[in-house]
Amino acid sequence: MSIPESKSVEKTLERPDIHRQWKNSYRTEENEKFYEYAFDYIVSCLSPRKDSIFLDAGCGTCNHSIRLARRGFSVIAADFSESALKMAELNLQSFNMQDKIKLKRENLLSLSFADETFDYVLCWGVLMHIPDMEKAISELSRVLKKGGVLIISEGNMSSLQSIVLRNLKALLGKEKSVVRRTDAGLEYRETTSAGDLLTRQTNIAWLKRRFQNTGFVVKKHVSGQFTELYTRVSPKLLIGLIHGFNNLWFKYIKIPFFSFGNILILQKKA
């Protein structure tokens, strides 16, 4: 992606419209059960000290920061979108979390934090929207302490959902996005009501190798949500069934390979 195209995507991510769209699609009551299951599991995989500090990299409206704070962590929530941080501030006030979570405006491609600042870093559904994924990975690694843990959640290009929808759109000629295949995955560039948006369905095997080459060990690789088709259908009964299946899959199966959501828990070598 060229520099002008990259800047266009950044402008979209700065606008409040896109964050409202994501909030309406993903911050729903039905999704809350999954997120609570997921963060209970993630925290169970950690051995936190009392003074541990979490960086929520690309925090958006801070819903995940709040989950971490409720589980006893000190959190620095960082996002480069001023509009997202304004929404996050209101969110923290509504949950009385202003004293437990510190907001900072940061760009994941050039974080202002010193090397090895954080015990833990969360980057949930963020890398998929960043054109220069390699630079973001380097920065996340740089600010994490040796022995620290990085949690990544990304969409899987090899998931059952991705394969079926990709082939169906090709068959029917319904693909509206400009699609580009890279080593990192399939990049979909589309023009939304909020502006130009990049969404990458990630090559998870490549992502794991990339982190391993950067000095990480994969501690856990599990499913996130099996499918996000609940964003594409309208009948409430069907939406409820999809969420129910996602929750059951995560609680009892967790196999990631055909799941759209994939969660990586990575430890930086000491």
Domain spanning 3-163+203-268, CATH architecture: 3-Layer(aba) Sandwich (3.40)
- Note the pLDDT tens digit of each residue in 140-166: 999 999 999 999 999 999 999 999 999
Q: What is the pLDDT of residue 174?
A: 86
- φ, ψ of residue 213 to 5 degrees: the values are -70, -20
Query: Which residue in 38, 41, 69 sits closest to 55, CA to CA?
Result: 69
pTM exceeds 0.85, yes or no: yes
Q: Is the pLDDT of residue 210 over 70?
A: yes
Mean pLDDT is lowest, of 5-19, 34-48, 213-227, 256-270, for 5-19
| 20 touches 85 (CB < 8 A) | no
Is residue 6 very low, low, confident or very high in pLDDT (cuts 50, 70, 90)? low
- Note the pLDDT tens digit of each residue in 108-140: 999 999 999 999 999 999 999 999 999 999 999
Average pLDDT, the chain: 94
Q: What is the pLDDT of residue 193?
A: 72
Place of tokens 């991510």: 13
Mean pLDDT is lowest, of 8-12, 13-17, 157-161, 265-269, for 8-12
Is residue 2 very low, low, confident or very high in pLDDT (cuts 50, 70, 90)? low
Q: What is the pLDDT of residue 135?
A: 97
Query: Which residue in 125, 94, 102, 104 sits closest to 53, CA to CA?
Result: 102
Q: Is the pLDDT of residue 3 over 60?
A: no
Q: Residues 22-41: what's their mean pLDDT?
A: 91
Q: Is the pLDDT of residue 96 over 90?
A: yes
The percent of residues in the chain predicted with pLDDT above 90, rounded, is: 82
DSSP assignments along 136-205, one per residue? HHHHHHHHEEEEEEEEEEEEBTTSHHHHHHHHHHHHHT---SEEEEETTEEEEEEEETTEEEEEEEE-HH
- Where are the alpha helices (H) located in the chain, listed in sequence order? 3-14, 16-26, 29-44, 63-70, 82-94, 133-143, 160-172, 204-213, 236-252
Q: What is the pLDDT of residue 11?
A: 83
Query: Which residue in 1, 10, 47, 71 sits closest to 197, CA to CA?
Result: 10
Q: What is the pLDDT of residue 1?
A: 52
Q: What is the pLDDT of residue 181?
A: 97
Q: Residues 58, 59, 61, CA angle at the centre, nearest 5°?
A: 135
Rg value, the chain, Cα:
18
- φ, ψ of residue 64 to 5 degrees: the values are -75, -30
- Note the pLDDT tens digit of each residue in 66-86: 999 999 999 999 999 999 999
